[in-house]
């Protein structure tokens, strides 16, 4: 197992695996309402077996090289994560995403973690296009896409039903040359 430090604030990025099911469920219980405002992730895990099944689905994706899931721990407590929701090395495309408990918001954890996984995808795996998909109402996610230097490709109007409301979904992306340029410039 590996752990990568995300700075000097006790934050680490690690693979989130099926044996973390109880810890992951406890994390979802703490953050369910906040996390579930815009994404269905919290709905998928309501007990240990469903948490384990979800984590196993990403272990299977990792084995098939079609997705990956990483947790963000702060001082030994799981507080969020980042993922490759989709990953297609042959086509050079992937989609990244994130979630975070409300208590961990505003510390730059997701920004740092996304940079790590995008760097890996672009530099190690040859990914050319990285996508970010977010509800238009999720201003934190949109601001993060902007902060990371992604470009807004467009809006899928009322395409995502969540909480009895149809949400507009924004598609953002960055291409490998753009990502490298931003990283070289220190942004």
Tens digits of residue pLDDT in 48-99: 999 999 999 999 999 999 999 999 999 999 999 999 999 999 999 999 999 9
Spelled out in words, what is the top-level CATH class assigned to the domain 4-184? alpha beta
Res. 161: pLDDT tops 90: no
Is residue 187 very low, low, confident or very high in pLDDT (cuts 50, 70, 90)? low
Higher pLDDT, 157 or 10: 157
Higher pLDDT, 187 or 150: 150
DSSP lists the bridge partners of residue 125 as: none
Res. 1: pLDDT tops 70: no
Tens digits of residue pLDDT in 113-132: 999 999 999 999 999 999 99
Supply angle C-alpha 5, 6, 10, rounded to 5.
70
Is residue 184 very low, low, confident or very high in pLDDT (cuts 50, 70, 90)? confident
């Amino acid at each position: 197992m590996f752990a990568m430090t995300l700075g000097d604030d006790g934050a680490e990025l690690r693979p989130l695996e099926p044996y973390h099911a109880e810890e992951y469920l406890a994390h979802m219980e703490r953050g369910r309402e906040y996390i579930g405002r815009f994404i269905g992730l919290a709905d998928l895990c309501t007990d240990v077996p469903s948490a384990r099944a979800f984590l196993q689905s990403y272990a299977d994706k990792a084995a098939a090289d079609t997705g990956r899931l990483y947790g963000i721990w702060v001082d030994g407590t799981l507080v969020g994560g980042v993922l490759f929701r989709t990953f297609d090395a042959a086509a050079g495309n992937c989609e990244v995403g994130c979630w975070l408990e409300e208590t961990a918001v505003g510390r730059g954890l997701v920004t740092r973690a996304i940079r790590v996984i995008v760097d890996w995808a672009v530099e190690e795996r040859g990914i050319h296009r990285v996508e970010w998909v977010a509800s238009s109402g999720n201003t934190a996610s949109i601001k993060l896409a902007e902060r990371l230097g992604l470009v807004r490709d467009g809006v899928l109007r009322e395409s995502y039903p969540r909480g009895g409301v149809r949400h507009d979904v924004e598609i953002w992306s960055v291409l490998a040359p753009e990502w490298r340029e931003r990283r070289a410039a220190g942004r």
